Chains A and B, each alone.
Chain A
Amino acid sequence: MTPSPPSRARRILATLTRHAGTFSLGALFLILTNLLALQIPRLLGDAVQLLRDAETLGSAFDLDAIQTLALTITGCAVAAAVVRILSRIFVFNGGRLIEFELREELFAHLTTLDVSYFQQTSTGDLVSRLGNDILFIRAFYGFSLLNIVNTLVAFSIVLTQMVQVDPQLTLACLLPYPVFFLTMGLFTRALYQRTQDAQATLADLSARAQENIAGAAVVKAFGIQRQESEAFRDLSERYVHANLALARVRGALFPYMGLIPAMGTLLMLALGGQRVVEGHLDLGAFVTFSGYLVALAWPTAGIGWALMSWYRGTAAFDRVFQILDARPRIHDAPDAQPLPLGPDGRARGEITFDHVSLTYDDGTVALRDVHLTIRPGERVAIVGRTGAGKTTLLQLIPRLRDPSQGQLLLDGVPLQRISLASLRRRVATTPQDPFLFSTTVEENIRLGLLARDAEPGDAPPSRLSLDDAVRIAHLQDDLTALPEGLQTLVGERGVTLSGGQKQRVTIARAVLLDPDILLLDDALSSVDTRTERHILEELKTLMQGRTCILVTHRFNALELVDRIVVMDQGHLLEVGTHAELLALGGHYARMVERQRIEAELEDA
């Protein structure tokens, strides 16, 4: 079902082909730049030769010719500048465009991956791959390409021109270049490896710092600042050492690059000098040759840079492709159909857990053979101790996870056969950990509705207004207390809401969707009992005829539900009404008993 991902080379080429226009233009301008810029050494040589001839032969000195040469140099320089600007803009913009597209592709892909993926991958890692690795890929397409083309073009132009003047000398002058290329390659490899080491150390350092900052409250509360500082100091020291290893290579590389043109001049002095003395070579040609050899220095070194961004780029490609190749485990089956809706445009809301089991990747068993049918419009509470599998059970319904065995049916249709979008449009969830985006309170509440408005689909409009949702979630008083009411920014760049406030915003968010199935995963734990009661009673009216499942640790809400499900260690222990379960005298009865005794104690 999942075809093996295309190879790296194929992908790189495909991207290049897509931007063939931009890069071809860039290459064309690059060729023009070199053609124009490399005229200058020859023109210089000609000028010197003119002067030399005037001196030795005493021939009439042609000032006009010299001035023409000077003007030609100026013309070449101006034209070269124009095409050089264009070539860099085209090539670098091309790289930026690829970066842009890759980011888009990655982000879009991330939105398709499921909960289990994000649980396995740290946020920092993903952010770093989208942050740093993409930069290397951009450099791969922009910088590396620029250098490779530039080197090829410069060498072919220079060689053609040198051979015309003196093939023998050309050959002699080129002798050390294989050595230059080889050493540049070696330098680059060492540079790359040591950069990698330094980067890895930096990653450790950053991870450590990130946690320290994110956990500032704990660090302070436990007074462990000094240990933290010392650990950071040690990591810093490791980073310094990695950097110094890098500095030794880098320190040699830059002077080495300066060495290359100097070696060219040296060669010319030794080989060309002799030929000039012997009369085999004009002084003008000598100057031209020297100019060419100096002009070749940058393209020679450029191969090193190209190699560097090649190494980095390919490694970065692999890391980025790892993300792109991660297949969502939860996705639409090819035969997925929209959720069948009744004449009122709503799902009936019958949920069947058909012998469902779920084992996490780390081997933890979360659900064991859960068999349960929740009737349309039923209100069910799931109780049980921590780790019993309550949250996991809820996550199965909007398919945040899929069961390892067994299946779920909604209104008699297996969930796997229902398209994800149509399923999630009818199910609203308030998760255990309330998560708000750093935008206004209003946008946080309208989150689902905004999305639905963008893709209306077949859902009937919500019967509720924003005000209703605010009222049901008991947010009106909080909103008046906030500096800008509904428009107050929350989260990272705004006001920090209390845990209870956050939970109530997420409730408003879910309620506003007017869903057919409402899932509350311990959504009121940080809300005081009185407010909780208000909310639940409002919900009771609102959710008339809608299926509602709530996970709870508090028993004061349980008289508001039709049935209670008791879970432990992934097992479904008891199912029934409050009265039935009490009569059963099992787990539930014991839990209630415990709370009753507690209440008695308090009364005493």
Chain B
Amino acid sequence: MSAAAQPANDSTTAAPLETRDSRLYARLLAFARPWRALFFTCLLLLPLASLVALIQPQLLQLAIDDHLVPRRWDGLPLLIAAFAGVTALNFALSFLQLYLMDLAGQRVLRELRCAVFDKLQRLQIGYFHRNPVGRIMTRLTNDVDALQEALSSGVVTIIGDIVTLAAITVILLVKSWQLALVTFLAVPLLLALSVLFRRLLREAYRALRAETARLNTSLQESVTGMSIIQLFAHERRSRQAYTDINDSYRRSAYAVIRWDASLYALVEMISSIAVAGIIWYGAGQALEDVVTLGVLVAFIEYVGRFFTPIRDLAQKYAVIQSAFASAERLFEILDSDETLPEDPQPLPLTELRHGIELRNVWFAYKGEQWILKDVSLHIKRGEKVALVGHTGAGKSTLIGLLTRLHDVQRGQILIDGHDIRRYRVEDLRRLFAVVLQDAFLFSGTLRENLTLRSPRVQPEDVAWGSQLVGLQRILDRYPDGLEHPIRERGANLSVGERQLVSFARALATRPQVLILDEATANVDTETEAVIQHATEAMLAQQTSVVIAHRLSTIQRADHIVVLHHGQVAEVGTHDSLLKAGGLYATLVRLHLHAEDHGDRQ
């Protein structure tokens, strides 16, 4: 690490908690900017509501001193009416403040949620490989919820609490500074307790959250793999594993309950002891006529209102802490630099005019473990290129690079002579249609899976694509045809059917370049023949890159690129490569050998 980088690094990792919190706060406020008028109104209403509430004990004091002690009725009805009025006003102000707060808060959270979602759309695919779906979902739901809870119950009301505390402090001091000091004796104790307990609670909540995540991940996995669990008679062990997690989850919950209950009860206790102190000390004062009975009663009322916010302060602090932790995790996603850098002034791209060129491309997922080493390749418009090689030769990676699922580390990929990073990612990807190994289907109807809800895909495109791949045979089985519901991940279709759908889906986008990645591996001979035939027709004028097992596909390619350990070993046509007698010839021989039913091996 260079000396220059040191201080900058320190400020991000070793920043004191308060700095971190205030930075988070500033970022959250940035999201709130568009609704600052609303927030501002809330900020005004809040102390107003708090102050109005503090008039009540004052009225009680007047009632006692001026009416109850001297037993004078007159004027008391007026006081009662005033009390009623203050109560009503407090209600109205509180309602208004709470509602407006929610209104503003909901808007901010929506923005935040959408910002995270949008960011997820732009994150590179590697992010999704590293982070399980469950974890990302926790960000989008639980973490945003934690913020929501903080907004509706914590952050802003804490300002009201502080105003209340300050006001009561002043009121108490004015009424009787001696009694006030007696009351304030309890404050250091309270603060010490709340600091201690908020730390304990924070730890406990953190542990609980971690356990919750473990519990859910374990459950999700077991449900997904239940048939394996059953087939391998693994039920008892799976149950045991779940029980272990469930048990440590329960234990962490007990810690939360313990600290939470203690904090709540201890604050209540201190509040009562303070009242006892006021009686003890105030009695003497009352006798010496330093304070009146009314003041004493009002004092006790105020003390009750004094400690509740302090108690809640600690609880709200916990809510805010967990909200901050959540915000931090959300910002982590927002700050992730794993997005593809986008050119600020992209070149237009609607069709492939000339071709695609890979120029000395190097790529590694991690460090120096190169998956592709110095790969150069030319794909002209209309050409059909077959990628051949053993598993792990780098075929899938190469395809990922074309659509910028990843960016090359060295060298560049050019489309029509320009680096693909010069185009908008969206435009670039629209050029291609990819049939992935894993035919991922969404829940929804068959039609939605074929159009991917894209307005650009017209019904005739869907019909065309389905026709070509022979999806019709499957459609005919369903009375509701294209409206047939598809379950999560296409669970109600066979692997082959899923692949047919993903194939039709790719064709329906009318791509400029078609990319097939081992798409035919799981389809039976007959279905494969249908697809083969259909694609032939389309591939005739379409640029395409194919990773295929079938020799018939490879053979029809204009170029065959043989990848070996991340390098281009051979390029040529089927005939020329066979003649050359190199790697390809060996591959073909092996393939034929295996396909031929003989057991000569």
Contact = CB atoms under 8 A, between A and B. Distances in A.
A387 B594 CA distance: 26
A66 B56 CA distance: 27
Interface string A194-212: 0000000010001101111
Interface in A111-126: 111-115, 118-119, 122-124, 126
B202 to A, nearest CB: 19
B557 interface: no
Contacts of A229: 114, 117-118, 121
A161 interface: no
A274 B594 contact: no
A73 B525 CA distance: 88
B354 to A, nearest CB: 21
Contacts of A186: none
Contacts of B56: 262, 265
A492 B454 contact: no
Contacts of B258: 89
B140 A96 contact: no
B188 to A, nearest CB: 18
Nearest to A270: B80
Interface stretch (B6-14, B17-25, B247-255, B538-546): B247-255
A277 B95 contact: no
Nearest to A446: B232
Contact of A273 (B63, B148, B287): B63
B73 A274 contact: yes
Contacts of B337: none
Contact of B522 (A88, A364, A525): A525
B261 A88 contact: yes
Contact of B293 (A51, A270, A447): A51
B481 interface: no
B266 interface: yes
B442 interface: yes
Interface string B431-461: 0111011101011000000001111000000
B350 interface: no
B353 interface: no
Contact of A213 (B53, B128, B228, B597): B128
A117 to B, nearest CB: 9
Contacts of A223: 425-430
A276 interface: yes
Contacts of B128: 213, 216-217
Interface string B59-103: 010011001110111001001100110010011001110110011
Contacts of A96: 250, 253-254, 257
B440 A217 contact: yes
A385 B219 contact: no
A497 to B, nearest CB: 11
A490 to B, nearest CB: 12
B226 A118 contact: yes
A583 interface: no
Given A77-B272, A450-B234, A66 B262 contact: no
Contacts of B443: 122, 207, 211
B279 A66 contact: yes
Interface in B93-129: 94-96, 98-99, 102-103, 106-107, 109-110, 113-114, 117-118, 120-123, 125, 128-129
Interface stretch (B32-40, B131-139, B163-171, B317-325): B131-139
A207 B487 CA distance: 12
A177 interface: no
B595 interface: yes
Contacts of A559: 597-599
Contacts of B425: 223
A17 interface: no
Contact of B488 (A51, A67, A211, A279): A211
B368 interface: no
Interface stretch (A166-174, A346-354, A408-416, A592-600): A592-600
B223 A123 contact: yes
Interface stretch (A2-10, A311-319, A333-341, A426-434): A426-434
B322 to A, nearest CB: 16
Contact of B137 (A111, A210, A237, A364): A210
B390 interface: yes
A257 to B, nearest CB: 10
B429 A530 contact: no
Q: Which size class do B's interface residues fall under?
A: 35 or more
Interface string A241-281: 00110011011101110110011011001100110111100
Name the residue in B233, B237, B521 with the highest tally of chain A Cβ atoms < 10 Å from its Cβ: B233
B222 A110 contact: yes
A496 B230 CA distance: 24
Interface stretch (A98-106, A299-307, A372-380): A98-106
B391 A528 contact: yes
Contact of B390 (A107, A391, A528): A528
A228 B122 CA distance: 12
B261 A286 contact: no
Given A214-B133, A239-B110, A269-B79, A221 B434 contact: yes
A22 to B, nearest CB: 12
A602 B128 CA distance: 40
Interface stretch (A147-155, A451-459, A462-470, A541-549): A451-459
A480 interface: no
Interface string B218-244: 011111111111111111111100110
A220 B405 contact: yes
Given A221-B434, A454-B236, A553-B525, A107 B488 contact: no
A602 B268 contact: no
A529 interface: yes
A224 B430 CA distance: 9
A244 B106 contact: yes
B137 A206 contact: yes
B284 A63 contact: yes
A130 B249 CA distance: 14
B452 A493 contact: no
A386 B94 contact: no
A250 B521 contact: no
A599 B219 contact: no
Interface in B486-506: 487-489, 491-492, 494-497, 500, 502, 505
A262 to B, nearest CB: 4
A266 B110 contact: no
Nearest to A243: B106
A455 B233 contact: yes
Contact of A558 (B229, B272, B590, B597): B597
Contact of B601 (A207, A216, A277, A533): A533
A455 B429 CA distance: 53
Contacts of B275: 40, 44, 73
A113 B442 CA distance: 25
- Listed from nearest, the 4 A-B pairs whose CB atoms lie closest are A386-B496, A77-B272, A247-B102, A223-B429
Given A107-B222, A259-B91, A278-B71, 18 more contacts: A48-B293, A61-B287, A81-B266, A216-B128, A222-B509, A223-B427, A251-B95, A262-B87, A266-B87, A269-B63, A270-B80, A283-B64, A431-B228, A529-B595, A553-B522, A556-B596, A591-B526, A599-B596
20 contacts: A77-B268, A80-B269, A84-B265, A88-B265, A127-B223, A209-B137, A218-B442, A218-B452, A220-B403, A225-B118, A247-B99, A255-B98, A262-B56, A265-B56, A276-B71, A286-B68, A433-B495, A498-B391, A558-B597, A595-B595
